[in-house]
Structure 1
Amino acid sequence: MAKRVLVVEDNELNLKLFCDLLRAHDFAVEPVRDGRDAVACAKAFEPDLVVMDIQLPHVSGFELIGQMKRDPRLRAIPIMAVTAYAGRDDEDRIRAAGANAYVSKPISVMRFIDEVRALLPDAGGERLA
């Protein structure tokens, strides 16, 4: 059975890229364009992983991470932050907020899939070089 990934991204091109990449690697994907819908979608979709932009309109990725980590139904789901924030302090701040992994934009396709697989070790497939 395919691992389920919820993708929270407001930029249509990035959302399409992330979803297409994940589907090409046999993941079941649920896109979310508005962060305000992310928690409800996560509860309905029951993902194995959440891939989330940090810079979202209406609600920040930091707020969403906090909401998910406080929810008993969602707290165990790993979160991979994907963001244009690129400094070392930014990564530390994102991880301190509760994200399990961090990938900076523009993404490296190989690193993106590697990080997803690292968070879902039983998802199958070989790690990319």
Structure 2
Amino acid sequence: MEALLATSKQAINQPLILAVDDDEDSLFLLTEVVRGNNFACITAKNSKNALSLAQRYQPDLILLDILLPDLNGIEVVHHLRRSPQTQLIPIVAVTALAKEEDYHQIMGAGCDGYITKPYMLDDLEDVMFSHLCHTAATA
């Protein structure tokens, strides 16, 4: 189920994270970790909705699966980086792609971070806090 915010980003007092994954269990876990750390969360199960939500809400961080059924995550990153509204949003790849060449391709595409599945919850939390703190410091 895709979650949409009824209020604008400015109306909430917590960072907003967009979690994107086509696997319901993975998306549920991401959402629980995000909300468990007192962050607001919106979700997308495909690239089209991810791009739409990113444009509409301009989240503080995007957690992006790379292996998506429509546009892959690399293509999503390219679209986000070309748009003035989304080009500065930190994007962390959350992916099963774990080879060194995958890492270089994903980071080269414009991701700001990379974490492989299965991940430790502490590692995911560290990545989220790291990018949210960096974003807050530069804002």
TM bucket, shorter chain: over 0.9
Match of 1:69 in 2: 81
2:125 to 113, 122, 128: 113
Structure 2 letter corresponding to 1:89: E
1:25 aligns with 2:65: no
Secondary structure at 1:120 match in 2? helix
Matches for 1:35-54 after TM superposition, within 5 Å: 35-54=47-66
Could you tell me which amino acid in structure 2 is paired with residue 23 of structure 1? R
Task: Name the SS of the counterpart of 2:50 in structure 1.
Answer: helix
Secondary structure in structure 2 of the residue aligned to 1:21: helix
Tell me the CA shift for residue 56 of structure 1.
0.2
1:41 Cα shift?
A: 0.8
After superposition, residues 99-110 of structure 1 pair within 5 angstroms as 99-110=111-122
Amino acid of the structure 1 residue aligned with 2:107: R
Residue from 30, 36, 59 that aligns with 2:71: 59
TM-score, normalised via structure 2 length: 0.86
1:8 and 1:51 in contact (8 A); partners too: yes
Instruction: Tell me the equivalent position of 1:14.
Output: 26
The alignment status of 1:34 with 2:43, answered yes or no, reads no
TM-score norm. by structure 1 comes to: 0.92
C-alpha displacement of 1:122? 6.5
2:20 touches 2:65 (CA, 8 Å); kept in 1?
A: yes
User: In angstroms, what is the RMSD of aligned CA positions?
Assistant: 1.4
- Sequence identity (%): 31
| Gap regions ≥5 residues in structure 1 | 125-129
Count how many residue pairs are aligned between Structure 1 and Structure 2: 124
Q: Distance in 1 between matches of 2:135 and 2:83?
A: 24
Note the alpha carbon deviations across 1:56-102, whole angstroms, 9 max, x for none: 00110000000000000000000000000001111111000000000
Moved more, 55-64 or 113-122: 113-122
* Contact 1:117–1:123 (8 Å) recurs in 2: no
Q: 1:122 to 1:60 in 2, by over 3 A?
A: closer
Question: Structure 2: where are the runs of 5+ without partners?
Answer: 1-12
Whichever residue aligns with residue 86 of structure 2, its letter is L
Match of 2:108 in 1: 96
Following superposition, which runs of at least 4 residues in structure 1 exceed 3 angstroms of deviation?
Answer: none
Q: Which amino acid aligns with 1:4?
A: L
